[in-house]
A and B are shown apart, each in its own frame.
Chain A
Amino acid sequence: MSNNLRFKSSKFIDETYRVSFKFNNKTYFGFKGDTLASALLANGIHLIGRSFKYHRPRGIMTSGSEEPNAIIQLHDNSTRSEPNVRATEVEIYEGLVATSQNCWPSVNFDVGGINNLLSPILPAGFYYKTFMWPESFWKKYEYFIRKSAGLGKSPKVADPDIYEHNYIHCDVLVIGAGVSGIIAAKMAAKNGLKTLLVDEKSYLGGSSIYDNSEFSKINNQITSSWLEKEINEISKLENLEIKTRTSVAAFHAYNFLLARENLTDHLPINQRENKVRQRLLKIRAKKVITATGSIERPLIFDNNDRPGIFLSSAIKKYIDFYGVACGENNVLFTNNDTAYETAMSLIQRGIKINAIIDNREQIDSKISYEVEKNNIKIYKGYTVVDTYGYRRIKKISIMKLSKDGQTVIGDKIKLNCDCLGLSGGWTPAVHLFTQSGGKLKFREEDQVFIPDVYPSDQISIGSCNGDFSLEEIVKNTLFSVKKFLNTENSEYKTIEIISGLNLSKRNIWLLPSDKPIGKTKSFVDYQNDATSKDIKLALREGFRSIEHVKRYTTTGMGTDQGKLGNMHALGIISETAGTKMGEHGTTTFRPPYTPLTFGTIVGRNVGEFFDIFRRTPIHDWHVANNAQFENVGQWKRAWYYPRNNENMHQAVQRESKAARETAGILDASTLGKIDIQGTDASEFLNRVYTNAWSKLAVGKCRYGLMLNEDGMVYDDGVTTRLDENHYIMTTTTGGAANVLGKLEDYLQTEWPELDVYLSSVTDHYATISVCGPDSKKIVSKVIPDLDLSDEKFPHMSFKNAKIDNIKCRVMRISFTGELSYEINIQANYGKSVWEKCIEAGKDFDITPYGTETMHLLRAEKGFIIVGQDTDATMTPIDLQMDWIVSKKKFDFIGKRSLYRSDTIRENRKQLVGLLTENPDDILEEGAQIVADIKKKPVEMLGHVTSSYYSPNLKKSIALGVVKGGKNMLGQKLIIPMENKNINVTVADPVFLDKEGKRLNAKL
């Protein structure tokens, strides 16, 4: 490759430091300071990838984060493989490996390129129109659509890198370290404000840092020299923190911003080990100054996408900053003065400019005269109508524009070139401003959207605020920052600016062509291959809203979010529809500004830290005894304890038998516990539960059902009266936090007159439930001083006791229907008391059981589980629990709703027991229940909510909800399954010991 593409003179490139890298399996060299894009261009590589839909050859267009085309796969086939990386943002390092995307077998010869020839039959909405019929073919279509969708390849293994999150609080955040950002940061910091300055690039100064032009000066110094001194000065300021390689991804309400700080991506691979790769900064700033600059617009004409076509500002950056020439025979195409700055940079290095094509008839600025003086041919009032060259541009054809700019006239002129620079003016980067909720206004003179209404304490300055000449930028920045920070401007008392540019522009959104529009491919969104033709088609088909046109044509929906072409899409829409630009508004800019990797978003919350989980004080014992765990809310609960290769069913059957025949032990520590105190505690319980509480004696326990105000069951549990004005309430494991929130709500907002205090004590106690015929003998061994006789300690009562001098509460309550005791003890003693119970129970074959056995045992008794047998549509009446609803109480939460017209309907779904005809058929939970399978459509009566094989009853049992089920006892119903229909009989939901003899161990 020719080496004369690299021009010495850039101080940003270290030519003594050579870096080798691989692109598409070939090794190249660049220098420290290069991006992958500049290094490839220096090696003469322009063809980078293939486009999304038509697989057209594409090259590098820009020099920054707005790049739509040059997106590559980094580290293909390694654990760090990353798709859709912008070559213009990758700083090269030793060992970099990159490959082209969206091409097979290679970027030079891509089979998918046939799509380009098929393009007449692949218009906007092609997928929506084509793959709709026949309906049954969708599954076949889907395979191919998925295969062709997407650009890069997602990594196959876990991300090996470390990421973290940091919180930053500051007085002033300045986003963007261009000339206006530098001035603002200095003014803020010098005035004693804690200031943070961030920029996405690796260096400070924005595009002005390589602006060496004689035509724009500050205080009679070349802009770049002036700025360098400023940067040097601010880097010493104490209350100014500067972060480079830091891209603000999101600007949320209340000045809350997210930024990604890139720490290692520019380092050689071997220097990255054990370092944090990227940080997500969560910034809360009192004031925000947005100085994000602007993005140059391309021009929209036929075949405007070939490799070798650049933004003119990119050509300037490649030569001025990287010392790389994008071409050896350049043509610039412009509608404003910007391209002349690029021309001067090329002229100074003796790089050939074949011609400048300018849309404008009249050009009147110092810089354009200077260019003309250098004998550069300027075609005034001309436009490019076509380009030629497959893998790189070779030639263009130009024609004269008509007066109104709507057509082309005269003869076609052909010009040779290997590089074409486009300049369509500038679009302020208002993305972050609008993300924050800011409203834009449209400025007719130069056709730009600029910030209008600020939603929080923030301002936009510089070219993102619509100031495009150096003079405007500096003067307006000084004025608005001074006002915004309410400070005296002591820093920049006198400042003199010289600007050689004239801001005139001839804006034509879609340039005319000598061909009919149907024969052109004028790309508006390069990444998604959306053309002006597609946009016009969408309008013809009736789409009017910009949001609809965007989705139909996919304009602006690529990884670059249409940073280049969105304005043109809006312009073409309003020109075609005959409306005013400002009326359409813009599409919504959504975070992130540039793509973030998932690693940055999750930070350290990976693996076991992804979601917190709660362990009971007895957790370690469960682990040591081979418990399998189930997640209940955030809790890890012992599910079952398999012995000797038992499967779940076998373990549960064994555990269930033992609990009814000898003794079982359950860790119930996860149940929610709320301590309730106050003189109105009884009245409070009366109002929140459906049953009566005033008469509950001290030392007694009662089961309660809690409803929502709509009458639907919300939670249940046993509450114990510990003392006159002191209760302890238990809630379901998953409902604990919500119940507390709901109780606090009523207490604070509806009944503030009640003297009641609530506190959550779930974590304070370990709860050990010992059940079964032998449980009394076991508990008496653990707590010998406690009188466990039925007379002294009957069912549904509680006693204070001591184990080894440690206070505990013992409740005689039962969720299994067996005689059972629940020991509550300070959490840190939980494990030792559990072990004591196991030891004491050895002679009685005490069997630890998990949640699955608990569920089976309670189902045998027909006890409900809120959330399994109920959803938010079940009243206590639906559950056949009328007995727990007090008729005497004046009011309780949900009472009025129990006789709304809908809740008293006879055919509501009601809870019933279900017995299968074949006792070995176990129903599937969630299965539908029907009565008549022949009458179509089959009426769904309800579904199975709980189902088990009961080892104690030696048959399958189930609970379910059935329409009008209460009056269907004995009726035959059908559960239709995939392979067979299972016949069931509606039964009483209490399958075992209806009289409750077992509660007193009277078998």
Chain B
Amino acid sequence: MFLINCPFCGQREQSEFKAGGEAHIVRPKQPTELSDDEWAEYLFMRKNIKGVQFERWNHVHGCRKWFNMVRDTSNDQIKAVYKIGEKPPVK
């Protein structure tokens, strides 16, 4: 079980959190302007890489805040956590 450093609450057990998929996928401002393919790209296509991945997490049983995490999926090392809207602190 990970120890996750919630940017708002500090270190908590993983059981308080819920993973929310890949981060930095921005919802198109004008979905109606998009072709089926472009919309599908936003809607369905996710990377799920082995290695360093940018993810969204929600402190669902805590402050209920969403935040971002940089995690190496190959060894589960959490490289960084940062608030929504902030730039990732690591590459």
Contacts and interface: CB of A to CB of B under 8 A. Distances in A.
B39 A900 contact: yes
Interface in B29-86: 30-32, 34, 36, 39-40, 43, 56, 58, 60, 64-66, 75-77, 84-85
Contacts of A748: 65-66, 84
B9 interface: no
A745 interface: yes
Most chain B CB inside 10 Å of its own CB: which residue of A253, A437, A901:
A253
Interface in A384-413: none
B66 A437 contact: no
A895 interface: yes
A896 B39 contact: yes
B75 A437 contact: yes
A750 B25 CA distance: 10
Contact of A749 (B3, B30, B56, B75): B56
A740 B65 CA distance: 12
Contact of A900 (B26, B36, B85): B36
| Contact size range, B | 20 to 34
Contacts of B30: 891
A741 interface: yes
Classify the secondary structure of A's interface with B. mixed
B27 interface: yes
Contact of B32 (A252, A284, A740, A895): A895
Interface in A730-759: 740-741, 744-745, 748-750, 752
Contacts of B32: 890-891, 895-896
A221 interface: no
A752 B36 contact: no
A252 B1 CA distance: 6
A749 B56 CA distance: 10
Contacts of A907: none
Contacts of B84: 748-749, 752
B43 A256 contact: no
B58 A745 contact: yes
Given A253-B1, A749-B84, A901-B36, A744 B66 contact: yes
A256 B11 CA distance: 14
A678 interface: no
B23 to A, nearest CB: 9
A20 interface: no
B64 A900 contact: no
Interface in A743-793: 744-745, 748-750, 752
A586 interface: no
Contacts of B60: 741
Nearest to B38: A896
Contacts of B56: 749
A749 B2 contact: no
Interface in A246-269: 252-254, 256
Interface in A715-741: 740-741
A749 B65 CA distance: 10
A709 interface: yes
Contacts of A890: 32
A897 B43 contact: yes
A48 B66 CA distance: 58
A745 B36 contact: no
A675 to B, nearest CB: 14
Contact of A895 (B2, B26, B31): B31
A845 interface: no
Interface in A894-913: 895-897, 900-901
B39 A741 contact: no
A897 B36 CA distance: 8
B39 A897 contact: yes
A741 B60 CA distance: 8
A455 B74 CA distance: 11
A171 interface: no
A252 B39 CA distance: 40
A709 B43 CA distance: 7
Residue from B26, B34, B43 whose CB has the most chain A CB atoms within 10 Å? B43
Contacts of B77: 455
Contacts of B66: 744-745, 748-749
Contacts of B18: 741
B20 A750 contact: no
Nearest to B27: A750
Nearest to A453: B75
A967 B35 CA distance: 29
A895 B58 CA distance: 25
B1 A752 contact: no
A230 interface: no
A408 to B, nearest CB: 47
Given A710-B43, A744-B66, A752 B2 contact: no
B58 A744 contact: yes
A737 to B, nearest CB: 8
B10 to A, nearest CB: 15
Given A253-B76, A254-B3, A891 B43 contact: no
A755 B64 CA distance: 17
B34 to A, nearest CB: 7
A741 B64 CA distance: 8
Contacts of A741: 18, 58, 60, 64
Contact of B76 (A437, A891, A895): A437
A576 B77 CA distance: 38
B2 A896 contact: no
A263 to B, nearest CB: 25
Most chain-B CB neighbours within 10 Å: which of A254, A284, A741, A891? A254
Contacts of A895: 31-32
Contacts of B26: 750
A182 B19 CA distance: 41
A435 to B, nearest CB: 13
A740 B39 CA distance: 25
Contacts of A455: 75-77
A481 B3 CA distance: 25
A254 B75 CA distance: 11
A741 B76 CA distance: 25
A455 B77 CA distance: 8
Given A745-B20, A748-B65, A254 B39 contact: no
Nearest to B4: A254
B59 to A, nearest CB: 10
A696 to B, nearest CB: 24
Contacts of A254: 1-3, 76
A186 to B, nearest CB: 28
B64 A752 contact: no
Contacts of A740: 64
Contacts of B1: 252-254, 256
A748 B65 CA distance: 8
Contacts of A437: 75-76
A752 B85 contact: yes
A455 B75 CA distance: 7
B40 A900 contact: yes
Nearest to B56: A749
Nearest to B28: A896
Given A741-B58, A741-B60, A896-B39, A253 B31 contact: no
B52 to A, nearest CB: 15
Nearest to A253: B76
17 contacts: A253-B1, A254-B3, A437-B76, A455-B77, A709-B27, A710-B43, A741-B18, A741-B64, A744-B64, A748-B65, A748-B84, A750-B27, A752-B84, A891-B30, A896-B31, A900-B36, A900-B39
Given A745-B20, A900-B40, A901-B36, 17 more contacts: A253-B2, A254-B1, A254-B2, A256-B1, A455-B76, A709-B43, A741-B60, A744-B64, A744-B66, A749-B56, A749-B84, A890-B32, A891-B30, A891-B31, A891-B32, A897-B39, A900-B39
Interface of B: 1-3, 18, 20, 26-27, 30-32, 34, 36, 39-40, 43, 56, 58, 60, 64-66, 75-77, 84-85
Please name the 10 residue pairs, one residue from A and one from B, whose CB atoms are nearest each other, closest first.
A896-B31, A748-B66, A256-B1, A253-B76, A254-B3, A750-B27, A749-B84, A896-B39, A254-B2, A749-B66
